[in-house]
Structure 1
Amino acid sequence: MNMPTPPAANTADCRGVSEILNRVGDKWTMQVVVVLRDRPRRFNDLKRQVAGISQQMLTRTLKTLERDGMVERTVCATTPPQVEYALSEFGHSLSEPVRQLAQWAAANLVTIHDNRLRYDTDR
Protein backbone atom coordinates (compact mmCIF):
# COMPACT_ATOMS: atom_id res chain seq x y z
CA MET A 1 0.00 0.00 0.00
CA ASN A 2 1.40 3.41 -0.97
CA MET A 3 1.52 5.86 1.87
CA PRO A 4 1.18 9.56 1.11
CA THR A 5 4.35 11.58 1.36
CA PRO A 6 4.50 13.59 4.58
CA PRO A 7 3.77 17.31 4.09
CA ALA A 8 7.30 18.30 5.19
CA ALA A 9 8.83 16.32 2.32
CA ASN A 10 6.44 17.92 -0.18
CA THR A 11 7.34 21.37 1.11
CA ALA A 12 11.06 20.63 0.77
CA ASP A 13 10.54 19.29 -2.76
CA CYS A 14 8.57 22.38 -3.74
CA ARG A 15 11.28 24.67 -2.38
CA GLY A 16 13.96 22.77 -4.30
CA VAL A 17 11.99 22.82 -7.54
CA SER A 18 11.14 26.48 -7.03
CA GLU A 19 14.82 27.36 -6.58
CA ILE A 20 15.77 25.54 -9.78
CA LEU A 21 12.91 27.10 -11.77
CA ASN A 22 13.91 30.55 -10.53
CA ARG A 23 17.48 29.94 -11.65
CA VAL A 24 16.81 28.41 -15.06
CA GLY A 25 13.90 30.79 -15.67
CA ASP A 26 16.07 33.84 -15.05
CA LYS A 27 16.27 35.98 -18.19
CA TRP A 28 20.07 35.97 -18.27
CA THR A 29 20.32 32.22 -17.77
CA MET A 30 17.84 31.58 -20.55
CA GLN A 31 19.65 33.89 -22.97
CA VAL A 32 23.08 32.41 -22.20
CA VAL A 33 21.73 28.88 -22.70
CA VAL A 34 20.19 29.88 -26.05
CA VAL A 35 23.44 31.51 -27.23
CA LEU A 36 25.56 28.53 -26.18
CA ARG A 37 23.16 26.01 -27.74
CA ASP A 38 24.85 25.96 -31.14
CA ARG A 39 28.51 26.23 -30.23
CA PRO A 40 31.03 27.13 -27.52
CA ARG A 41 31.83 30.82 -27.15
CA ARG A 42 34.36 33.04 -25.49
CA PHE A 43 33.30 35.51 -22.81
CA ASN A 44 33.30 38.66 -24.96
CA ASP A 45 31.44 36.88 -27.75
CA LEU A 46 28.80 35.83 -25.22
CA LYS A 47 28.59 39.37 -23.88
CA ARG A 48 27.97 40.71 -27.41
CA GLN A 49 25.31 38.08 -28.10
CA VAL A 50 23.36 38.63 -24.85
CA ALA A 51 22.08 42.15 -25.29
CA GLY A 52 22.12 44.31 -22.18
CA ILE A 53 23.99 41.97 -19.86
CA SER A 54 26.76 43.51 -17.78
CA GLN A 55 30.16 41.89 -17.41
CA GLN A 56 29.44 41.24 -13.73
CA MET A 57 26.05 39.62 -14.43
CA LEU A 58 27.48 37.45 -17.23
CA THR A 59 30.27 36.30 -14.91
CA ARG A 60 27.77 35.50 -12.16
CA THR A 61 25.44 33.67 -14.57
CA LEU A 62 28.26 31.58 -16.05
CA LYS A 63 29.56 30.63 -12.60
CA THR A 64 26.09 29.56 -11.50
CA LEU A 65 25.57 27.50 -14.65
CA GLU A 66 29.01 25.93 -14.25
CA ARG A 67 28.29 25.12 -10.59
CA ASP A 68 25.01 23.46 -11.59
CA GLY A 69 26.82 21.40 -14.22
CA MET A 70 25.14 23.02 -17.21
CA VAL A 71 28.17 24.88 -18.57
CA GLU A 72 31.72 23.70 -19.02
CA ARG A 73 34.57 26.18 -18.86
CA THR A 74 37.72 25.43 -20.85
CA VAL A 75 40.94 27.42 -20.56
CA CYS A 76 42.91 27.36 -23.82
CA ALA A 77 46.69 27.32 -23.49
CA THR A 78 47.39 30.53 -25.37
CA THR A 79 49.03 33.81 -24.45
CA PRO A 80 47.03 35.41 -23.00
CA PRO A 81 44.91 32.44 -21.88
CA GLN A 82 41.52 32.28 -23.56
CA VAL A 83 38.46 30.86 -21.86
CA GLU A 84 35.67 29.17 -23.74
CA TYR A 85 32.23 28.28 -22.42
CA ALA A 86 30.06 25.46 -23.76
CA LEU A 87 26.88 23.73 -22.71
CA SER A 88 27.49 20.38 -21.10
CA GLU A 89 25.33 17.42 -22.08
CA PHE A 90 23.18 18.30 -19.07
CA GLY A 91 22.98 21.91 -20.26
CA HIS A 92 21.86 20.76 -23.69
CA SER A 93 18.98 18.89 -22.03
CA LEU A 94 17.79 22.29 -20.74
CA SER A 95 18.35 24.10 -24.04
CA GLU A 96 15.46 22.43 -25.89
CA PRO A 97 12.70 23.47 -23.45
CA VAL A 98 14.29 26.94 -23.24
CA ARG A 99 14.29 27.20 -27.04
CA GLN A 100 10.64 26.12 -27.18
CA LEU A 101 9.69 28.69 -24.54
CA ALA A 102 11.55 31.42 -26.46
CA GLN A 103 9.74 30.43 -29.67
CA TRP A 104 6.40 30.52 -27.85
CA ALA A 105 7.19 33.98 -26.46
CA ALA A 106 8.20 35.31 -29.89
CA ALA A 107 5.09 33.84 -31.52
CA ASN A 108 2.84 35.44 -28.89
CA LEU A 109 4.42 38.88 -28.44
CA VAL A 110 1.67 40.72 -30.31
CA THR A 111 -1.12 38.86 -28.50
CA ILE A 112 0.41 39.58 -25.09
CA HIS A 113 0.98 43.23 -26.01
CA ASP A 114 -2.65 43.56 -27.17
CA ASN A 115 -3.94 41.86 -24.00
CA ARG A 116 -1.90 44.23 -21.83
CA LEU A 117 -3.22 47.27 -23.68
CA ARG A 118 -6.81 46.03 -23.31
CA TYR A 119 -6.27 45.29 -19.60
CA ASP A 120 -4.66 48.67 -18.93
CA THR A 121 -7.41 50.51 -20.83
CA ASP A 122 -10.17 48.73 -18.88
CA ARG A 123 -8.68 49.66 -15.50
Structure 2
Amino acid sequence: MEKPLVSQARRSRGRVTEEEEPEMFGEDAIPCPPGAPRKAKVQHSTSSTSAPSCSQKEQFIELMQTQISLDHEAKKEHMERELAARLAFCKIQKRNDELRILTFDTTGMNPADAAKIEALKDAARAKYFNF
Protein backbone atom coordinates (compact mmCIF):
# COMPACT_ATOMS: atom_id res chain seq x y z
CA MET A 1 0.00 0.00 0.00
CA GLU A 2 2.88 2.34 0.62
CA LYS A 3 4.23 2.04 -2.92
CA PRO A 4 1.23 3.71 -4.58
CA LEU A 5 1.56 6.64 -2.18
CA VAL A 6 5.26 6.98 -2.89
CA SER A 7 4.74 6.85 -6.64
CA GLN A 8 1.85 9.33 -6.37
CA ALA A 9 4.08 11.66 -4.33
CA ARG A 10 6.79 11.48 -6.97
CA ARG A 11 4.32 12.29 -9.71
CA SER A 12 2.93 15.34 -7.98
CA ARG A 13 6.26 16.70 -6.77
CA GLY A 14 6.88 20.18 -8.22
CA ARG A 15 3.30 20.53 -9.42
CA VAL A 16 0.82 22.99 -8.04
CA THR A 17 -2.57 21.59 -7.20
CA GLU A 18 -5.78 23.57 -7.48
CA GLU A 19 -5.98 24.29 -3.78
CA GLU A 20 -2.31 25.40 -3.57
CA GLU A 21 -2.35 27.59 -6.71
CA PRO A 22 -0.94 31.02 -5.82
CA GLU A 23 -2.51 34.17 -7.16
CA MET A 24 -0.05 35.48 -9.72
CA PHE A 25 -1.74 38.76 -10.61
CA GLY A 26 -4.05 40.89 -8.57
CA GLU A 27 -7.04 42.90 -9.65
CA ASP A 28 -4.81 45.54 -11.26
CA ALA A 29 -3.37 43.10 -13.80
CA ILE A 30 -3.14 44.43 -17.34
CA PRO A 31 -5.07 42.31 -19.80
CA CYS A 32 -3.27 40.95 -22.85
CA PRO A 33 -3.71 43.23 -25.86
CA PRO A 34 -5.94 41.90 -28.57
CA GLY A 35 -3.75 40.93 -31.47
CA ALA A 36 -4.12 39.69 -34.96
CA PRO A 37 -5.20 36.09 -35.12
CA ARG A 38 -2.41 33.63 -35.74
CA LYS A 39 -1.85 32.65 -39.32
CA ALA A 40 -2.39 29.03 -40.13
CA LYS A 41 0.57 27.02 -41.34
CA VAL A 42 0.79 26.72 -45.09
CA GLN A 43 0.42 23.19 -46.29
CA HIS A 44 2.67 22.27 -49.21
CA SER A 45 1.89 19.40 -51.44
CA THR A 46 4.44 16.61 -51.22
CA SER A 47 4.86 16.31 -54.98
CA SER A 48 6.21 19.86 -55.43
CA THR A 49 8.56 19.72 -52.46
CA SER A 50 10.03 16.30 -53.09
CA ALA A 51 11.36 16.92 -56.59
CA PRO A 52 11.51 20.11 -58.64
CA SER A 53 9.76 20.06 -61.97
CA CYS A 54 11.68 19.87 -65.24
CA SER A 55 11.18 23.55 -65.93
CA GLN A 56 12.62 24.42 -62.52
CA LYS A 57 15.65 22.23 -63.23
CA GLU A 58 16.12 23.86 -66.60
CA GLN A 59 15.79 27.33 -65.08
CA PHE A 60 18.33 26.43 -62.41
CA ILE A 61 20.77 25.05 -65.00
CA GLU A 62 20.32 28.16 -67.14
CA LEU A 63 20.86 30.39 -64.12
CA MET A 64 24.05 28.55 -63.15
CA GLN A 65 25.38 28.69 -66.74
CA THR A 66 24.67 32.42 -66.87
CA GLN A 67 26.43 32.94 -63.54
CA ILE A 68 29.44 30.92 -64.67
CA SER A 69 29.73 32.86 -67.92
CA LEU A 70 29.44 36.18 -66.02
CA ASP A 71 32.14 35.06 -63.60
CA HIS A 72 34.33 33.98 -66.53
CA GLU A 73 33.90 37.34 -68.28
CA ALA A 74 34.67 39.26 -65.08
CA LYS A 75 37.82 37.19 -64.50
CA LYS A 76 38.89 37.67 -68.12
CA GLU A 77 38.42 41.46 -67.90
CA HIS A 78 40.34 41.55 -64.62
CA MET A 79 43.24 39.61 -66.15
CA GLU A 80 43.27 41.89 -69.22
CA ARG A 81 43.40 45.00 -67.01
CA GLU A 82 46.19 43.46 -64.95
CA LEU A 83 48.16 42.57 -68.09
CA ALA A 84 47.72 46.09 -69.48
CA ALA A 85 48.96 47.56 -66.20
CA ARG A 86 52.02 45.29 -66.22
CA LEU A 87 52.82 46.21 -69.83
CA ALA A 88 52.51 49.91 -69.03
CA PHE A 89 54.85 49.45 -66.07
CA CYS A 90 57.40 47.62 -68.25
CA LYS A 91 57.26 50.38 -70.87
CA ILE A 92 57.83 53.05 -68.22
CA GLN A 93 60.69 51.06 -66.75
CA LYS A 94 62.30 50.62 -70.19
CA ARG A 95 61.91 54.35 -70.91
CA ASN A 96 63.50 55.24 -67.59
CA ASP A 97 66.40 52.90 -68.29
CA GLU A 98 66.93 54.46 -71.72
CA LEU A 99 66.75 57.99 -70.30
CA ARG A 100 69.19 57.18 -67.52
CA ILE A 101 72.00 57.51 -70.09
CA LEU A 102 71.32 61.27 -70.09
CA THR A 103 72.58 61.48 -66.50
CA PHE A 104 76.05 60.11 -67.33
CA ASP A 105 78.87 62.61 -67.02
CA THR A 106 81.51 62.13 -69.72
CA THR A 107 84.08 64.61 -68.42
CA GLY A 108 87.41 62.94 -67.75
CA MET A 109 86.45 59.85 -69.77
CA ASN A 110 88.36 58.23 -72.56
CA PRO A 111 87.38 60.19 -75.71
CA ALA A 112 86.23 57.01 -77.52
CA ASP A 113 83.93 55.99 -74.65
CA ALA A 114 82.70 59.54 -74.23
CA ALA A 115 81.81 59.66 -77.95
CA LYS A 116 79.78 56.42 -77.65
CA ILE A 117 77.90 57.71 -74.61
CA GLU A 118 77.23 61.04 -76.32
CA ALA A 119 75.85 59.12 -79.33
CA LEU A 120 73.50 57.18 -77.01
CA LYS A 121 72.44 60.46 -75.39
CA ASP A 122 71.68 61.95 -78.81
CA ALA A 123 69.62 58.86 -79.75
CA ALA A 124 67.63 59.06 -76.47
CA ARG A 125 66.95 62.76 -76.99
CA ALA A 126 65.82 62.17 -80.54
CA LYS A 127 63.53 59.28 -79.51
CA TYR A 128 61.87 60.91 -76.48
CA PHE A 129 62.25 64.66 -77.02
CA ASN A 130 62.19 64.95 -80.85
CA PHE A 131 65.42 66.98 -81.03
Normalized per residue, the structure richer in strand is 1
Give the alignment's TM-score, normalised by structure 1.
Answer: 0.30
Query: Looking at both structures, which has the greater relative contact order when contacts are Cα pairs under 8 Å and sequence separation is at least 6?
Result: 1
Higher alpha-carbon Rg: 2
Give the alignment's TM-score, normalised by structure 2.
Answer: 0.29
